[in-house]
Amino acid sequence: MGRVRVVAPATSANLGAGFDVFGLALDRPADVLVVEEIEAGVEMVVEGFPVPETPEANVAGYVAKRLAENAGAGVRLELRKGVPPGSGLGSSAASAVASAAGVAVLLGLEVGMRELLGVCAEAEGVASGAPHADNAAACLYGGFVCVGEGMRVLRVEPPEWLEWGVVLPEVRVETREARRALPERVPLDVHVHSLGSVVMMVAGMMRGDRELVRLGMRDRFATPVRSRWIPRFEEVVRAVVEAGALGVTVSGSGPACIALCSGDVCSGEEVAEAMGEVYSEAGVECRCFWGKPGGGVEVEGRRLSNILKG
């Protein structure tokens, strides 16, 4: 009977127009999971932020049951939640990916990255009502990712200069409701605008072009809808521009807002604090995070992408 320790970071999905396609791994905060092999079944304990401890009701437990039971094994999960649930920072993805990575490595399963991503996307569907792989892909692979049909992932190493700042106001946004609020049909002009933004963002990340990344953050599909739940969003946008960042958008379904910036112009910390001041002056509680793009989930200090293939 062995055990492994897994660290799975927060992520930001969409980054503007890349709805359900773009994801960015952050370097903090993170979930920490210890997976231990037991004779049979799935046991689970949780510390930190409150989430269900019943394996059937928890994305980490869901993934563990899928993988361990198929292998005829049992596991015990000790999860310390570091990514706030309901934040828009990929909390459920971090738990799901931590479980998938830990169980796969501990039990020596013959699975690839894409197979694990599929299981995590299913688990995300349990949490949000619709399977999606953007957060999970970023957490699994690290860096900036684009998810295509068949769980194919294009991973791009973000530019060295890229930094991020996040503000998380104390308001509640339900992921299921945020998805239901999006229009089922998209006007032609919005579709064309989205395509342009998506191309700019991918090219900007690959070329390390600051102006293209700035253009890529523009969005007329999800952001206008989801920003309605976020107080003082327009003031946050103005604060980010004044601080010198490339742009700001809703992280996932919110309420977190993420700004991208070039570290030689302004730091992620400066941008996060500028956004935080908007809420402090308005008497709204908030938390701020900042850092650089992360390398994705690690098992015993090693990136999963260096352990598994495919």
Question: Could you give the residue numbers annotated as active site?
Answer: 124, 175
Q: Burial level of 56, CB count in 10 A (0-12/13-18/19+)?
A: exposed
Q: Burial level of 249, CB count in 10 A (0-12/13-18/19+)?
A: buried
Rounded distance between C-alpha atoms, residue 39 and residue 68, angstroms: 11
Closest among 121, 49, 140, 48 to 86, alpha carbons compared: 49
Closest among 98, 154, 89 to 123, alpha carbons compared: 98
Alpha helices, DSSP H only, in 131-261? Answer: 134-141, 175-180, 188-207, 210-216, 222-226, 233-243
Residues 6+ apart with CB under 8 A from 177: none
User: What are 298's two structure tokens?
Assistant: 């690690």
State residue 249 phi and psi, 5-degree precision.
-150, 170
